[in-house]
Structures are given as structure tokens and as C-alpha cells.
Amino acid sequence: MHRKTIVAANWKMNGDVSLINEMTDALNTISISENQQVIICPPAPYLGALTQANTNARVAVGAQNINEQLKGALTGEVSALMLKDLSVQYVIVGHSERRSLFAETSGLVADKAKQALAQGLTPIVCIGESEDEREQGQTEQVLSEQLAPVLSALDNDELTDVVFAYEPVWAIGTGKTASAEMAQQTHRFIREFIAATDSDAADKVAILYGGSVNAGNYQELFAQPDIDGGLIGGASLKVEEFKTICLAE
């Protein structure tokens, strides 16, 4: 099965109007093939500016988080309904920073993914183990526990619309990338775990790798059979470097 290559930028709490303009200027001029999808996820205040400035049909806009509710007295929160209204197409849910710094549980992540899909958005569901968990041989157990609530919350036809991102916590922002072989093994495990719920969906869903992906290592990672692209933090803030990665086949 030939899946699309997805290159997604997670700017986290970085970037400004200048970066929106520089990045869209750079990406509006490149030709991205139909087998590729580029997604930029800026901080929420910049989503509107990005949807206006982005004219490259192969570049989509994504948010970094949503509330699981659609509206109400929830000061500071953003809903899937609002993202839809802004023509945002993707939303990251369950990033490890949200899990560890904002106490998001896998159950909550599943509710957010479900709500995103209900509003026609594609959730990018992040999972990943800590360094301790890997050292103690718990990687597969941790990933299973993170995946299970999402798989049970979604119907099979919804599952095919999800993008998963495997981001080992120890590789995020550290410069320590998982080796291509280690990442492939883990992606294979994730795909097999999804296949136990729905083998057809498992074949179709994109599983991105994230954690210190850069212009020097993306090719080897993306060449692995179960790695369908990357979720990129630091390197996605550098216009030329990100542009290079966007041209990955």
C-alpha cells in the first residue's frame, strides 16, 4: 500500500507574523507532489493569518490542540468548531508536552480525537514513551495503553481518517533521534496494534515519526516502510530547512 508522505510542522509556542509570512512565501513557490501533504501547525492566534497567507493547495493548516467540548464557559480554550470555521484541516492531539505539562490522559486524547473527526478535522494523535520507559522495556506496553482508548472511541470508518505520530519523548528537542531501524520497529508495532482492531485501516493510516527530525536525517527515517513522514518541531521553524524536508517523496 502506497501511503502519502506527510510532513507536519509543530511550531509549539514559537513563531510570529514574520515567520508566517516567510514560511508561506517559501512554500507557495514550491511544487509539492500529490503523494505529499505538508501541514503547518502554528500557535492558535496565527491560524487565521496562516490560512489567509497560504496559497499552496498541498499545504494544509493545523492547530496544536483543541478542547473536547464544542463551546461554552471555558476561558482560553479553542474548539474544533472554531477551527473548522477558519478552514483549519488538522489538529494535533495528545502531544507529549500536553500529556506531561497539562496532565492530559489518553482518555481525554481519545475524546479530543473523536470531537475533531466529528467536525471533519483530521486529528494527529501523538503517542510515545519516555526514556525510562524504553530503558525498562515498557515501550510497547506504554504505546498500547496510549492507543487503546483512541481505538475503542472511534468507529472503523473514522479510524482511517486519523494520522498517528510516534514521538519518543527522549528524542523531542534533544537532538537524539531514534535510529531508523528502531523507529521502524516501533512503527511496525503500532501498525500491527491498530491492525488488531481494523487491518484495513492499519494499512491506510499514516504514522509519522517525530523527535529531532532535521534535513540531515529525514530521508533515512522516511524511507522506512512503516514511517509515512514526520512531525517536526525545531527544524520546522527554519524556513530553508523545512522547505527541504517538504520535498521528501
Task: Give me the least distance between CB of 130 and ligand 13P, in Å please.
Answer: 13
- Of 143, 142, 230, 136, nearest in space to 178 by CA: 230
Q: For the CB of residue 169, give the shortest distance to ligand 13P in the complex, in Å.
A: 9
Complex with ligand 13P: residue 66 or 198, whichever CB lies closer: 66
Can you point out the beta strands (E) in 47-157? 59-63, 90-93, 122-127
- Using only C-alpha atoms, the chain has a radius of gyration, in whole angstroms, of 17
Pairwise CA distance, residues 202 & 46, whole Å: 33
Query: What residue number has its CB nearest to ligand 13P?
Result: 233
Catalytic residue among 95, 97, 104, 187: 95
Least CB distance from residue 115 to ligand 13P, whole Å?
20
**187 counts as catalytic:** no
- Nearer Cβ to ligand 13P, position 65 or 198? 65
Q: Which of residues 70 and 234 has its CB atom nearest to ligand 13P in the complex?
A: 234
Give the Å distances, CA to CA, from 6 to 34, 153, 216: 11, 24, 17
Residues 227, 221 contacting (CB under 8 angstroms): yes
| CA 144/CA 189 separation, integer angstroms | 9
| Helices assigned H by DSSP within 196-231 | 199-204, 218-222
Cβ at position 91, least distance to ligand 13P in Å = 13
Binding stretches for ligand 13P (CB under 6 A):
10, 95, 167, 172-173, 210-213, 231-235
Identify which of residues 88 and 198 has a Cβ nearer to ligand 13P in the complex: 88
Q: Is-catalytic flag, 95?
A: yes
Q: From CA 67, how far away is CA 229, in angstroms rounded?
A: 26
**DSSP code, position 107:** H
From the candidates 129, 133, 167, 187, which is the catalytic residue?
167
CB nearer ligand 13P, residue 112 or residue 198: 112
Nearest to 64 by CA among 74, 78, 84: 78
Least Å from the CB of residue 193 to ligand 13P: 21
- CA distances to 148, 183, 240 from 144, rounded to whole Å, are 6, 16, 36
Any idea which residues carry the catalytic annotation? 95, 167
